[in-house]
Amino acid sequence: MRENRSLPPSLPTPRIFLLSPAYAGGERARMLLNERAQFELAVRLRQSGAPLGEVFAFMSGLYFRGKLAYARAFGAPPPGLGGSYVITAGRGLVPSEKQVTAQDLREIAAVPIDAADQRYREPLERDARALAQLAPPPCEIVLLGSVATAKYLDPLAGILGERLLFPAEFVGRGDMSRGGLMLRCASAGAELTYVPAMNAARHGPRPPKLPKLSRT
């Protein structure tokens, strides 16, 4: 019998995703926080809490759902770490599966996502420093969020430098288009192209519309 000398499958590149937040002060957040709301997620949030990713997906819709699905499909964290962390106002980087309560959501909504506000910036920089130590190279750290403004890029790039990556295909797309793109990629098992966020083009021509998803 011939010896099987086939090589073992290569391990995926270690990778952690940082998800930009949903807006915690909008109408859908108020729906969740309404003490009289009886839909399942609102009741759970009041009584025992719910995963942060699920809460933000409800508030944001397609964009955050796309980020969450993409991170779940392609996250490959080092041992002891999560595959995705959500940027939050006043709380830094929070695992997407962490349980939060209605009071937590109110506290998050009270802090603006503003790189000039130390209530937002200091916890984010603290956690970025910790992540850089706990997930050293070759682990990639990929921002699933906009680099067109300073609110995410400045605090994170100041700590992570060229280790902070960004999907090149995001350039020129709006939030809904990015969300749809990530849902398609997660379903197809096809990753986007990551480039250093510090050097990425921040603006570009709008790409063609995405093809409609099959309903089969």
| pLDDT computed for residue 169 by the predictor | 93
Domain-located, residue 46: no
At 34-47, the pLDDT tens digits run 999 999 999 999 99
What CA–CA distance (Å, rounded) separates 84 from 75?
Answer: 7
Q: Within a domain: residue 42?
A: no
> How many whole angstroms separate alpha carbon 76 and alpha carbon 191?
13
**Cα dist from 114 to 77, 118, 202, whole Å:** 28, 8, 18
Q: Are 16 and 82 in contact (CB under 8 A)?
A: yes
Residues spanned by the domain of 82 = 15-23+60-98+113-199
Average pLDDT, the chain: 90
Does residue 145 lie in a domain region? yes
120: closest CA among 52, 197, 21, 199? 21
Residue 212 has pLDDT above 60, yes or no: yes
Does residue 152 lie within any of the structural domains? yes
Asked whether residue 117 is domain-assigned, the answer is yes
Q: Which of 61-70, 143-152, 197-206 has the lowest mean pLDDT?
A: 197-206
pLDDT at res. 14: 96
Give domain status of residue 72, yes or no: yes
* Residue 174, in any domain of the structure: yes
Asked if residue 31 is part of any domain, the answer here is: no
For the segment 90-144, what is each residue's pLDDT rounded down to a tens digit?
A: 999 999 999 999 999 999 999 999 999 999 999 999 999 999 999 999 999 999 9
Residue 199, pLDDT score: 76
pLDDT band at 149 (very low <50, low <70, confident <90, very high): confident
Q: Specify the higher pLDDT residue, 7 or 20.
A: 20
Residues 46-73 have a mean pLDDT of 95
Q: Is 202 helix (H, G, I), strand (E, B) or coil?
A: coil
Instruction: Please report, for residues 23, 91, 105, the alpha-carbon distance to residue 14 in angstroms, rounded to integers and kept in the order given.
Output: 29, 25, 31
CB neighbours of residue 197 within 10 Å: 24
**Position 25 confidence tier, pLDDT thresholds 50, 70, 90:** confident
Nearest residue to 156 (alpha-carbon basis) of 188, 124, 203? 124
Q: How many domains does the chain have?
A: 1
